[in-house]
Structure 1
């Protein structure tokens, strides 16, 4: 049994979808969460900048005695995961391959859609993994660059005309392709699941990259003897790089608990 914490990081609020899944799937584990809210979004930045930010995020998390890291960011997982794994001597779980495996398991028509940030779509990572796992799959991709900033500003509730209009513009072309499965390739996107499901209809199964990474971590911890087991106390610490109050306000709604005065601000440029 290993009661050391798990590090989780994302460019902002999106990684909370992975945190929520981890709490449900691994309630006995301690989580250290970092959201780089001062530099969100990562998705439109150059690959070198994304890697620089990711390295700083990892260095901050490694100031704690961690046993594993979840990269709860589709952009980093698609552009920088391999490099980070080579540079660090602890298990790192990304969001791409677990989500792809799940999508192929549930897709009956082998017509899979992927929505993600511009950087993730440009990388071709989801398409590459899907076709490696099943060469016969048809993949339909769509970048959604406005989703992350809108979610970060609290525009993710059904009935919000701004997010609903943007979502329809992005998703209608995918609906017309006849996909039966859609990978939510950014951990911000599950916050929009009600809106996405309404547009695509009940015949399209939604796969959350953050949720699948939590299941992947559970398998890794148990097979590697790293699971906290009954001795684990559970719990989450939150760190951000910008105003904690803004993070806490939206995070409280999403996690359905009062997080006021619990998040701490750190200077990520020191790492």
Structure 2
């Protein structure tokens, strides 16, 4: 017997997502996220990430259905048997990265990233970045267009486009990947334990300004960025058994 769950329906601003949102509300009802058992998100990966951030404090599981451009973090869209799909769905625990970015103006911005934290040069000048891990300087001066640190869930996104490694879900690893490195030219990045405390210092920030982004939260003119896995904040994504995230990440490694 399937237990009917209270569903909060949310959707991106796309025409198709909004149209299906109205139909699903008529069919399954709609509950406010704070009173729901599960949040169902309609859209693409960008909207899914915004949904995770907006509802982090609620701690409710999120089940996404693809009605957008990219849907790596979502299930295929089908309007039928939603309660049955939710009852069969398998949970994946997401551990976001915690970013603390200190800017040239003296302000500090805290943000979370479910995909990645990235540093990018703001001008035509290459960024110069010192890389310190657990208090030990590993690269005194990295000259590059940027540098990113990705979670397993985010390792198939920007990280993969920058030729970084794909990480299995549950591996307790992070990918550190340079973007167009100039020196050390042969350095292609590193795979780090998720417990690693990362400090990235921007050298010559006035001549070579750098921005830092945690998912969609950007901080300009940073001088130092601290990154670590958040230990007290998690979100749960739900996937159809035949469409689970672990299998899709594995499949990505054999896509040619």
Question: TM-score, structure 2 length as denominator?
Answer: 0.25
Structure (1 or 2) with the larger CA radius of gyration: 2
Question: TM-score, structure 1 length as denominator?
Answer: 0.24
Higher relative contact order (CA 8 A, sep 6+): 1
